[in-house]
């Protein structure tokens, strides 16, 4: 086993890979192995939905950057995009555009041990001393709130905002109680998931992140998961000899959405002091 690359840039998706399957973390995040298997059936529909999900994120980003809604509507030109865009324009999140403290596609980074932790937020909105993290999801099925609560994304995004978000708050770190995270589901527009935050949760989260980063960076090996259900939606199935048939997209709980909606060039992200 070669030495763990240092410094390594961790993200919510690499931590989630490790939680789902240590071998997947190794193949994807260390070896950066491209493997040509599909992650969910039906293939064409899944691929189309992933591309549409990325386009939807770009539409919303451009909306918050100030592009006229009428122009963006013209680009919502498939049934899924049209429906998601319509759902979005019917929400009161539209009004966030008028706030002065609005940060679409915000990237934050903080040191963690000898490594770095990075997150790219769809939107952060600061208003009346509170900050709300918004994350758009184009999942085919609305996941359970408990499932979302346990995702590394939910823990990393809120904790990293405490650690590295002071520049959004006149130079003062946000208190955990000032933070809320909202997952908005484009196909379930009136059923968002909202997660508040508090100091105890923050303490637990940051300590869990430090612990797992230490565990990963000192691991001797990265075993295959014992939970073979994870393999059904994994592109490395044939590589790992864990079957050739992908799971059904409509049976998955969230997993089929591409987590890397926007490419992050980690090396170009300046470290943010905290």
* Chain residues that interact with ligand SF4, rule: CB under 6 A: 21, 23-24, 27, 224-225, 230-231, 234, 236-237, 240, 242
Q: At what angle are helices 152-164 and 199-217 packed, to 10 degrees?
A: 110
User: C-beta of 240: minimal distance to ligand SF4 in Å?
Assistant: 3
Q: Which C-beta is closer to ligand SF4: that of 185 or that of 236?
A: 236
Q: Which two tokens stand for residue 39?
A: 């992650």
Cβ neighbours, 10 Å, residue 262: 13
User: C-beta of 22: minimal distance to ligand SF4 in Å?
Assistant: 8
State the Cα–Cα distance between residues 225 and 230, nearest whole angstrom. 8
Burial of 243 (0-12, 13-18, 19+ CB in 10 A): middle
User: C-beta of 249: minimal distance to ligand SF4 in Å?
Assistant: 17
CB-based contact 117:109 (threshold 8 Å): yes
Q: Which C-beta is closer to ligand SF4: that of 85 or that of 236?
A: 236
Burial of 70 (0-12, 13-18, 19+ CB in 10 A): exposed
User: C-beta of 161: minimal distance to ligand SF4 in Å?
Assistant: 30
Q: Which two tokens stand for residue 131?
A: 């900050």
Q: Which C-beta is closer to ligand SF4: that of 21 or that of 186?
A: 21
User: C-beta of 41: minimal distance to ligand SF4 in Å?
Assistant: 15
CB-based contact 49:138 (threshold 8 Å): yes
User: C-beta of 52: minimal distance to ligand SF4 in Å?
Assistant: 25
Q: Where are the alpha helices (DSSP H) in the chain?
A: 12-20, 22-25, 43-64, 69-75, 79-89, 145-150, 152-164, 199-217
Q: Which C-beta is closer to ligand SF4: that of 134 or that of 233?
A: 233
Q: Which C-beta is closer to ligand SF4: that of 24 or that of 57?
A: 24
Q: Which C-beta is closer to ligand SF4: that of 34 or that of 268?
A: 34
| 239 SS3 class | coil
Q: Which residues, in sequence order, are bridge partners of residue 188? A: 185
Q: Helix, strand, coil: what percent of the chain each, to 5?
A: 45, 20, 35
Q: Which C-beta is closer to ligand SF4: that of 180 or that of 259?
A: 259
State the Cα–Cα distance between residues 39 and 164, nearest whole angstrom. 34
User: C-beta of 32: minimal distance to ligand SF4 in Å?
Assistant: 14
Q: Which C-beta is closer to ligand SF4: that of 148 or that of 235?
A: 235
User: C-beta of 254: minimal distance to ligand SF4 in Å?
Assistant: 16
């Amino acid at each position: 086993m070669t030495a763990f690359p240092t410094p390594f840039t961790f993200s919510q998706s690499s931590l989630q890979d490790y939680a789902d399957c240590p071998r997947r973390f190794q193949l994807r995040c260390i070896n950066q192995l491209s493997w040509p298997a599909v992650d969910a059936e039906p293939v064409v529909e899944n691929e189309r939905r992933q591309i549409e999900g990325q386009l939807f994120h770009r539409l919303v980003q451009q909306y918050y950057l100030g592009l006229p809604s009428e122009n963006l509507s013209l680009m919502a030109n498939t049934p899924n995009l049209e429906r998601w865009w319509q759902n979005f324009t019917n929400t009161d999140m539209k009004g966030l555009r008028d706030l002065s403290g609005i940060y679409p596609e915000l990237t934050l980074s903080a040191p963690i041990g000898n490594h770095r932790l990075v997150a790219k937020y769809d939107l952060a909105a600061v208003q009346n001393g509170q900050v709300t993290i918004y994350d758009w999801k184009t999942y085919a099925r609305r996941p359970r709130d408990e499932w979302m609560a346990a995702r590394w994304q939910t823990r990393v995004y809120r904790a990293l905002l405490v650690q590295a978000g002071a520049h959004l708050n006149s130079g003062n770190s946000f208190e955990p109680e000032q933070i809320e995270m909202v997952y908005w589901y484009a196909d379930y527009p009136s059923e968002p998931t909202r997660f508040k935050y508090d100091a105890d949760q923050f303490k637990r989260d940051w300590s869990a992140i430090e612990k797992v980063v230490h565990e990963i960076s000192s691991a001797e090996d990265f075993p295959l998961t014992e939970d073979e259900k994870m393999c059904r939606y994994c592109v490395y199935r044939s590589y790992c000899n864990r079957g050739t048939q992908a799971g059904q997209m409509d049976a998955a709980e969230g997993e089929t959405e591409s987590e890397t909606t926007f490419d992050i060039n980690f090396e170009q992200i300046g470290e943010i002091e905290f």
